Structure 1
Amino acid sequence: MLNALRPKVESILNHKNVEVNLRLQQVCDLLQESVPYYDWVGFYFKNGNKAELKLGPYKGAPTDHTIIPFGKGICGQVALSNENFVVPDVKAQDNYIACSINVKAEIVVPLFVNGENIGQIDIDSNTSDPFTQEDERFLEFINKEVAKIL
């Protein structure tokens, strides 16, 4: 299922006449609407020179977490570790920021431009332990494609 979305993602991101944030929003919309266990999909980006992330385009329930300090929560940890973080059960994580009581699992994959971690894609799921290596590879693919337009 995920591999079938790759051409659609490429098509969205290659529309050079569409503003970048709108293309990112369309990717969030596509993923949230196409993958049953992707309940919240969003991008966070490094906020200038500050040691924090700022919420970018997303699809799903509104969140109060528009700014996340590096090191705080799953997203903040990925900003420092530069590595994928798959959380099968958010209740088992000490350093977790709850966006919704319905969220059971989360996956965060860093976004690199010229070797620098400039942001990430964040997926919340209301399903327990839904993420596989296929999800990781798919989200890495998305971030590589996004990096080309930033």
Structure 2
Amino acid sequence: MPFEKLKPEVVNILDNSEKNVTDRLHEVCKLLNDHIDYYDWVGFYFRNGDKEELKLRTYVGEPTDHEIIPFGKGICGQVAVSNENFVVPDVQAQDNYIACSFTVKSEIVIPLFKDGENIGQIDIDSETPDPFTEKDERFLEFVNQEVAKIL
């Protein structure tokens, strides 16, 4: 399903105030995982209180041992420090990559800002080498902007 068709579905999920925030985030993960064939693991990490670490809030995909990620470690930890999108076409080429599964070939992490502060991120793993384009970046930025509205 094209990104433009997914946008209203993301908004509808997030606008459903009858569900708690974590459930809505999980539904967004499921929507993206189900409708974008190269999104094999979709999750949201958020800053863990005052600690210099990220905590996994919800995800769809294979289980992960990486529920807590220190700032600076791995792709997610680097985005927590840099405040910038990070697209990894080949995870094997990254020195600071934390392997979740040997099947993961590429990753994209987009920071999530609330009131100008980086409070979390959406993380996508793919078993497809180099699938992410600028369209993925813009779409995931949109998703995070919509998520920020309910936090």
Matches within 5 A, 1:67-146: 67-146=68-147
For normalisation by structure 2, the TM-score amounts to 0.99
Q: Which runs of 4+ in 1 moved over 6 A?
A: none
Distance 2:56 2:70 in 1: 12
Q: Deviations over 1:76-130 (max 9, x none)?
A: 0000000000000000000000000000000000000000000000000000000
Match status 1:147 vs 2:126: no
Partner of 1:48: 49
Distance 1:56 1:38 in 2: 18
Distance 2:3 2:142 in 1: 11
Partner of 2:19: 18
Corresponding residue pairs, total = 150
Match status 1:3 vs 2:4: yes
Gaps of 5+ in 1: none
Distance 1:64 1:138 in 2: 27
Distance 1:70 1:30 in 2: 28
Distance 2:4 2:60 in 1: 20
User: Please, what is the CA RMSD of the aligned residues?
Assistant: 0.4
Q: CA deviation at 1:33?
A: 0.6
Partner of 1:58: 59
For normalisation by structure 1, the TM-score amounts to 0.99
Identity percentage over the alignment? 69
Instruction: Report SS of the residue matched to 2:43.
Output: strand
